Structure 1
Amino acid sequence: MSIAAIVITFNRLELLKKTIAGLRAQTQSIDEIIVVNNGSTDGTVEWLAENGDIFVVTQENVGSSGGQYTAFKTAYDRGHEWIWAMDDDVVPRPDCLEHLVANIAANKVVAPLRYSLDGTPFINDTIEFNLTNPFSNIWKRLLKKEDLVSDIIPATGLTFEGPMFHRSLIEKIGLPEKKFFIFADDSEYMIRAKKAGFSSYIISKANLDRMLDAPDLNKEFSWKNYYIIRNIIAIDVLHGSFLVRWLRPYAYLISWLRKASNKSDRQTVIKAFKDGYFYKSDN
Structure 2
Amino acid sequence: MEFRIAAVVITYNRLELLKQIINSIKEQTHKPDDIIVVNNSSNDGTSEWLESQTGLTVLTQPNIGSSGGQYTGIKYAYDNGYDWIWVMDDDVLPNKNCLEKLIENAEPDNILAPLRYNSDGTVFFNEAVSYNLKNPFKSFWNEIISEKHLSNKFILVEGLTFEGPIFHRSLIDKIGLPEKNFFIFGDDTEFFIRAKQAGFKSLINTSARLNRLIPYVSPATQFSWKNYFVIRNLIAIDVLHGNIFVRLIRPFRYLLVWLFRCKSIKDIKTVFKAFWNGYFYQHSD
Q: Which category describes the TM-score, using the shorter chain as reference length? A: over 0.9
Q: Structure 2: how far apart are the matches of 1:143 and 1:241? A: 24
What does residue 114 of structure 2 align with? 112
Pairs within 5 Å for 1:71-220: 71-220=73-222
Query: How high is the TM-score relative to the length of structure 2?
Result: 0.98
Q: Structure 2: how far apart are the matches of 1:216 and 1:189? A: 21
- Give the AA of the match of 1:150: N
Match of 1:59 among 50, 54, 61: 61
- Give the AA of the match of 1:25: E
- Give the AA of the match of 2:168: H
Gaps of 5+ in 2: none
Query: How high is the TM-score relative to the length of structure 1?
Result: 0.99
What does residue 10 of structure 1 align with? 12
Pairs within 5 Å for 1:190-269: 190-269=192-271
- Give the AA of the match of 2:19: K
Q: Structure 1: how far apart are the matches of 2:194 and 2:37? A: 25
Gaps of 5+ in 1: none
What does residue 31 of structure 2 align with? 29
Q: Structure 1: how far apart are the matches of 2:216 and 2:14? A: 16
Q: Structure 1: how far apart are the matches of 2:218 and 2:242? A: 26
Residues 161-197 of structure 1 deviation map (CA, whole Å, 9 limit, x = unaligned): 0000000101110110011000010000000000011
Q: How far did residue 29 of structure 1 move? A: 2.0
- Give the AA of the match of 2:120: D
- Give the AA of the match of 1:57: L
Q: How far did residue 103 of structure 1 move? A: 1.4
Q: How far did residue 215 of structure 1 move? A: 1.7
Q: How far did residue 282 of structure 1 move? A: 1.9
Q: Structure 2: how far apart are the matches of 1:111 and 1:139? A: 19
Q: Structure 2: how far apart are the matches of 1:29 and 1:61? A: 28
Residues 112-145 of structure 1 deviation map (CA, whole Å, 9 limit, x = unaligned): 0011010011111111010001101211111111
Q: % of aligned pairs identical?
A: 54
Q: How far did residue 51 of structure 1 move? A: 1.1
- Give the AA of the match of 1:54: L
Q: How far did residue 216 of structure 1 move? A: 2.7
Q: Structure 1: how far apart are the matches of 2:163 and 2:192? A: 13
Q: Structure 1: how far apart are the matches of 2:214 and 2:172? A: 29
Paired residues, what number? 283
Q: How far did residue 221 of structure 1 move? A: 0.7
Q: Structure 2: how far apart are the matches of 1:124 and 1:282? A: 26
